[in-house]
Amino acid sequence: MKNTAQIAVIGGSGLYKIEELKEKKELAIKTPFGETSDRLIWGRISGAPVCFVPRHGRSHTILPTEIPHQANMWALKSLGVKTVVSVSAVGSLKRELAPSHFVFPDQFVDETKLRKATFFGDGAVAHVPMAKPFCMAFSEYMYKEAKKLGIKSHFGGVYCCMEGPGFSTKAESEYHRKMGYSIIGMTVATEAKVAREAGLHYAPVSLVTDYDCWKEGEEVDQAKVLETLHRNIENIKRLLVKVLPVLVKVRCAEGCENLIKTSLLTSRDHMPAQALKRLKLIIG
């Protein structure tokens, strides 16, 4: 019997090491967009099937720029996934968003330069709307549950997506603060765009690990990031165990699953055969 799931989590390799995740199986899925970040982890939490994607590979061998977003999302869609919860570490650009806090952003600014953030090209063109980039019904539900668990959390805010892999300069950090951005990371914008094209509901959970480098005496370095992230992991696991079995009942009013139907500019008759074959799962 094929392992299917409606809910997926993309995040660090430690996320799927949840005691409550039962019947675990590793899935190697071939996609027309190349290899996924790693084998996917399928299992059940409280009887509900869920799928985990180690974003950077289990041994953290993939740079943010190198993440195969198209392959990851295609693989999830092929398993029947409808909703993606994205967990990632971020730096804070606001004093009140302190290390160890969770942020559920509602917007992003994409400052990446080197990534392909689409399934399309090579004779196929689509332009999906991104005015509301995240599915806030899912984010709001998770935010409320996080508060119930005693996790210090914030709803709303602008995620600034930088290219990386290096952290910000002080000038960049101050610039981002003056622009009113809330948090900064290296993954969400590209991931959200590809998820939108795939018709997947996408809800990011941002785990604050540091103050970027704008706050005197608290400049970011990898050791500090990992130290705070390890503390955050237990909290995000607690949240995931509580919300994942229930997220299938949450409804999004944005109609993400159907947006590609009105966003496709190239008719199927004019697409090259290879592009049409590659995009069949995405465009229906």
Condensed to tens digits (0 to 9), the pLDDT of residues 6-26 reads 999 999 867 888 889 999 999
Residue 184, strand partner residues? 91, 160
- The C-alpha atoms of residue 71 and residue 34 are separated, in whole angstroms, by 6
C-alpha neighbours within 13 Å on the C-beta side of residue 220: 26
- The C-alpha atoms of residue 259 and residue 264 are separated, in whole angstroms, by 9
Burial of 243 by CB count in 10 Å (0-12 exposed, 13-18 middle, 19+ buried)?
A: buried
Residue 253, pLDDT score: 83
- Cβ-based neighbour number of residue 259 at 10 Å: 17
Residue 25, pLDDT score: 96
- The C-alpha atoms of residue 217 and residue 196 are separated, in whole angstroms, by 39
Residue 231, pLDDT score: 83
The pair phi, psi for residue 140, each rounded to 5°, is: -65, -40
Query: Among 255, 165, 173, 239, which residue's Cα sits nearest to residue 205?
Result: 239
| pLDDT tens by residue, 232-266 | 899 999 999 999 999 999 998 888 999 999 999 99
The secondary structure element, H or E, covering residue 102 is strand 102-104
The reported pTM is 0.95
Q: At what angle do helices 188-197 and 69-78 cross, to 10 degrees?
A: 40
The strand pair at 40-45 and 48-54 is best described as antiparallel
Residues annotated as part of the active site: 210, 212
| pLDDT tens by residue, 186-209 | 999 999 999 999 999 999 999 999
> Which DSSP state fits 34?
B
Residue 223, pLDDT score: 75
Does the pLDDT value for residue 164 go beyond 80?
Answer: yes
- The C-alpha atoms of residue 174 and residue 172 are separated, in whole angstroms, by 5
- Cβ-based neighbour number of residue 253 at 10 Å: 9
Percent of the chain with pLDDT over 70: 98
Across 5-19, 63-77, 260-274, least confident range = 5-19
Binning pLDDT at 50, 70 and 90, where does residue 222 land? confident
Report whether 83 contacts 138 (CB < 8 A). Answer: yes
Does the pLDDT value for residue 270 go beyond 60?
Answer: yes
| pLDDT tens by residue, 24-57 | 999 999 999 999 999 999 999 999 999 999 999 9
Quickly list H helices, the chain. Answer: 69-78, 136-148, 170-178, 188-197, 222-243, 259-263, 273-283
Helix (H, G, I), strand (E, B) or coil at 150: coil
Helix (H, G, I), strand (E, B) or coil at 136: helix
For the CA atoms of the chain, what is the radius of gyration? 18
Binning pLDDT at 50, 70 and 90, where does residue 218 land? low
Residue 13, pLDDT score: 67
Domains of the chain: 7-278 (3.40.50.1580)
Residue 96, pLDDT score: 98
Residue 255, pLDDT score: 87
Does the pLDDT value for residue 1 go beyond 60?
Answer: no
